[in-house]
Amino acid sequence: MTVSGPVALAEAVRDALTETGGIGATVRQIAARIDDHPARVAAVLDRLQGRGDVLRMGRGLWVLRDFEHLSERDGFVDPTEFVERFESENGVSLGRYSGPITFRSNDGLPVHRWWPYVQGYSAEFVRGVLAANGVARGSTVLDPFAGSGTTLVEARRAGAYAVGAELLAPAVLAARVKTRLELDPRRFEREAERVLAAAARRSAGPLPFLRETRRQFFPAALRDLTRLRDALPAEGNDAEDAVRLAFGRVLIPSSRLHRSPCLGYDRRARSTGPSVFERFRTAVAEMATDLAAFGGERARLGPPASVERRDAREGHWPRESVDLAVTSPPYVNGMDYVMNYKVDLAWLGYASSYADLAALRRTEVACDNLPRTETAAYLRTTELPDPWLDELLPRLKENVRRKGTYRRDDMHGIVHRYFADLLPVLDGVRRALKPGGRLVVVVGDSLLAGTYVPGDLILARLAASRGFSIVSVEVARSRRSGQRRTFELRESVVTLERPRSAT
Ligand SMILES: C[S@@+](CC[C@H](N)C(=O)[O-])C[C@H]1O[C@@H](n2cnc3c(N)ncnc32)[C@H](O)[C@@H]1O
């Protein structure tokens, strides 16, 4: 069925956009709502845009010009309002953190550059936190969401015992290899040469289970990647693990994929540049150079780090064993780590099927690709872990309902589960900290279906409800919302303390 006549169609599109208000809607969503063809809706939107009646926001969303600013919409609670409430209810004013916070500044740094992890933070930030908290030889530093090991590398370099948990196996591999700075670079290079020679004698092997592999990789690269993969040693030893990491490093550069920060695919990308084997050699040479450069530092390193592939929600660390915890959890619906690292998971043999990926996703802190069964227990919108969520989640649920065709109607369940997932981690870290010990968390806020969620402030409030005191919340940088490019989000450093008198 279609709406007849251009005037009626334009009216129907306007009505649909009035309904979805400041949340906006995509061409497909509008077309589904008014039961018309997406191509006809797109043509009407172009005309209305030319007249200045509608605007295009991030991620293909359209809104009526009247809804350009979310703050003008009824019921929208903006970031400033939450900050004011936080300051009056929790007695802490927001400050500023200056200095590089994003991983980008690690890209040129020895060792940190071995596995560019866009979701990580800067080594300089960690060094500053360690120094400000007097971390030295004999201290223990914990990172419950260790990622690629930025905290752990810097803690070892400061002489501390570094302890990390992480669920994403390729990140665990990176963190392990990056913290084993005693590895003899010549032994590593010999192991890499042995693997290359074995790969050169092999013929092409089977492709991993990922359906899009043929489309996403160049044929010659696929052949060499399978040969190299099949020549890799098993995991477990320092030189062998380092060779596996070097292989992991060449996967994305050998494909039409990129991370920016989500995994993206460029259909038109042509096969240019070095071969897989050459890329592997370059990766190995860079790692060996960094290991050699660390030679002089070895005597000052802390004891060997402990990096476990483990769910941080288990909170398994010994009581009162940790001087300082530094971490950054996933952000509220910020990233599906499993989706983003599925190529690494599959090629390195950590996942053999889509069922493996789904199982891993269920144990990671909640993101919006969770199966519905995982949110079923989190759909209620009252008696939530924080009173602010009692206000926020019904609003989010209503916004999704108004939108009609939002990707899923249980978004409020995802957000509920996200904060519920953080609670056992906070409890575990608090137990593990020595009295007076601190937990420093880098975390951001979010805009979801037109509802603003102050993830940093809610995390601080949750921590306060679990026996931490809030030392400070410092805004480190602003980010742009993927949903609405004009909407400014932030990334904050939340510092919490286990009070000395707490049990
Ligand atoms: C923001 S990243 C941490 C990056 C890290 N600071 C760095 O510099 O590399 C968050 C990490 O938490 C991990 N994660 C998510 N849920 C987890 C869980 N339940 N237990 C342990 N790690 C988890 C993700 O796999 C991801 O690597």
Which pTM was predicted? 0.88
∠ CA 217-220-224, nearest 5°, is 95
In ligand 1, which atom is closest to the CA atom of 363? Answer: 19
Q: How far is the CA of 328 from the centre of ligand 1 (A)?
A: 7
CB 359 within 8 A of CB 384: no
Ligand 1 binding pocket includes 332 (Cβ within 6 Å): no
What pLDDT score was predicted for residue 485?
67
Q: How far is the CA of 76 from the centre of ligand 1 (A)?
A: 31
Q: Is the CATH number 2.60.40.420 carried by domain 6-68? A: no
pLDDT tens profile 391-431: 999 999 988 887 766 678 899 999 999 999 999 999 999 99
Rounded Cα–Cα distance for residues 289 and 285 (Å): 6
In ligand 1, which atom is closest to the CA atom of 365? Answer: 16
What pLDDT score was predicted for residue 213?
96
Instruction: Pick the most confident of 7-16, 114-123, 353-362.
Output: 353-362
**Which residue's CA is minimally distant from atom 16 of ligand 1?**
364
Ligand 1 binding pocket includes 16 (Cβ within 6 Å): no
**Which residue's CA is minimally distant from atom 17 of ligand 1?**
364
Rounded Cα–Cα distance for residues 127 and 132 (Å): 9
How much of the chain exceeds pLDDT 90, in percent?
Answer: 72
Rg of the Cα atoms in the chain:
25
Over 80: is that where the pLDDT of 91 sits?
yes
CB 311 within 8 A of CB 169: no
Where along the chain do its domains lie? 6-68, 182-300+335-364
Ligand 1 binding pocket includes 169 (Cβ within 6 Å): no
Q: What does the pLDDT average to over 61-72?
A: 74
What pLDDT score was predicted for residue 105?
87
Specify the pairing of strand 433-444 against strand 322-327: parallel
Q: How far is the CA of 70 from the centre of ligand 1 (A)?
A: 31
Ligand 1 binding pocket includes 166 (Cβ within 6 Å): yes
Residues 6+ apart with CB under 8 A from 195: 228, 231, 232, 233, 243
Pocket test for ligand 1, best of 127, 339, 365, 426 (most atoms within 8 A of CB): 365
Ligand 1 binding pocket includes 62 (Cβ within 6 Å): no
What pLDDT score was predicted for residue 70?
66
> Residue 328's pLDDT band (boundaries 50, 70, 90)?
very high
In ligand 1, which atom is closest to the CA atom of 334? Answer: 1
Q: How far is the CA of 330 from the centre of ligand 1 (A)?
A: 6
Over 80: is that where the pLDDT of 212 sits?
yes
